[in-house]
Amino acid sequence: MTYTNESERPAERSSQSENSVVVGVDGSASALHAVRWAAREAERRGAPLRLVNVCHLMPVRHPRQISPPADYQTAVMEQGRHWLAEASAAAQRAVPGLAVVTDLRSGIAADVLVAESRTAQLMVLGSRGLGGFTSLLVGSVAVALSAHGQCPVVVMHAATQDGVPPEDDPVVVGVDGSELSDAALTFAFEAAAARGVPLVAVHTWLDVNAAGAWAVLPGTIDWTWLQQEEEKLLDERLVAWRDKFPGVEVRPLVVRDRPDRALLEHAAGAQLIVVGTRGRGTLTGMGLGSVSQTLLHHAECPVAVARTDRT
């Protein structure tokens, strides 16, 4: 069943979007892939699915008026309704009988979706919309929402949009040994438990700057001891989640490599990879760390960016 909320008041919109799985819809193939993935995720979570299209009415120069002509506004809004209907049908085909809410909005897409994330339990986007350049793997809206969203954000990479997402492959999570990765661990364990698949917890311990310094004094480094210490660190970080999710098969993996390169390698065989918003060593105030940025642009599977807290 599909409900349309185009004319609802802001208070009504806020209450209906509470704890929804929300998808940004823009008529692109990437967005439709995100809708299908989100429909299955909403079913797993027992959550409503909410499809949002944001119409951006570009200023039109006219000698006697500042706002766009009425027929232009009508055409833009009608196109948005068409894309929402198409997306709703795609969700229904993916999960027959799923209740779907559609919402046609006006404004700046990134701003509207960030506002939606304040009450949603999950935001889902395609990697690139209709306005994306072919040389860019991830659109500006996806990057902005991943950096500033108030709830976990999943970005569906373009490389997977033409196929059915794998259901037997493991979930991969990046663990950096700090409290900032706690949200990523929680999201990843929940995802693995819901899917009944193993969880690969990847921890790396090679920093680019440190590696350059160690190369000068290779004989002074006990690499075996360092590896054992990092394995111990990872085991300690996983204890609480192992106890909470005893049914999840955990595959801890400690790698002597850069985090972005190691996670990209393991993302190739995953159905979902999960990272935090900021990792160890990033600057305060930056919403998205370099590892998250790299995965968003280059991973071959859906990327989930989990926040440490909801503002």
218-227 pLDDT, tens digit per residue, is: 556 777 888 8
Percent of the chain at pLDDT exceeding 90 = 44
Return the pLDDT at 293.
82
CATH for 2-157 is 3.40.50.620
Of 29 and 84, more confident: 84
CATH of 171-306, one of 3.30.565.10, 2.40.70.10, 1.10.287.180, 3.40.50.12370: 3.40.50.12370
Give the start-to-end residue ranges of the domains of the chain: 2-157, 171-306
Residue 208 one-letter amino acid? V
Cα separation, 42 vs 36, in Å, equals 10
Start-to-end Cα distance in the chain:
33
DSSP for 203-248 reads EE---HHHHHHHTT-GGG--HHHHHHHHHHHHHHHHHHHHHH-TTS
Q: What is the pLDDT of residues 97-110, one digit of tens each?
A: 999 999 999 888 99
The reported pLDDT for the residue numbered 2 is 56
**Residue 134: which pLDDT band, with cuts at 50, 70 and 90?**
very low
Give the mean pLDDT of 159-167.
60
Region 83-95 average pLDDT: 96
Q: How confident is the model at residue 217 (pLDDT cuts 50, 70, 90)?
A: low
Same fold, 2-157 and 171-306: yes
A 10 A CB-CB count for 230 gives 18
Q: Give the mean model confidence (pLDDT) for residues 164-187.
A: 85
pLDDT band at 310 (very low <50, low <70, confident <90, very high): low
Q: 228-234: list long-range contacts, CB under 8 Å, 24+ apart.
A: 230/203, 230/205, 230/254, 233/177, 233/203, 234/175, 234/177, 234/201, 234/203
Comparing 152 with 257, which gets the higher pLDDT? Answer: 152
Q: In which band, very low, low, confident or very high, does the pLDDT at 131 lie, cut at 50, 70 and 90?
A: very low
Strand, coil or helix: what is 56?
coil
Spatial separation of the C-alpha atoms in residues 178 and 32, rounded to whole Å: 36
Beta-carbon contacts of 133 under 8 Å, excluding residues fewer than 6 positions away, are: none
What confidence tens digit (pLDDT) does each residue in 235-287 have?
A: 998 999 999 999 999 999 999 888 888 999 988 889 999 998 764 433 333 34
Give the pLDDT band of residue 171 (cuts 50, 70, 90): very high
Instruction: Return the structure tokens found at 52.
Output: 């949002």
Q: Are 275 and 202 in contact (CB under 8 A)?
A: no
Determine the Cα–Cα distance for residues 33 and 85; give it in Å rounded to an integer.
15
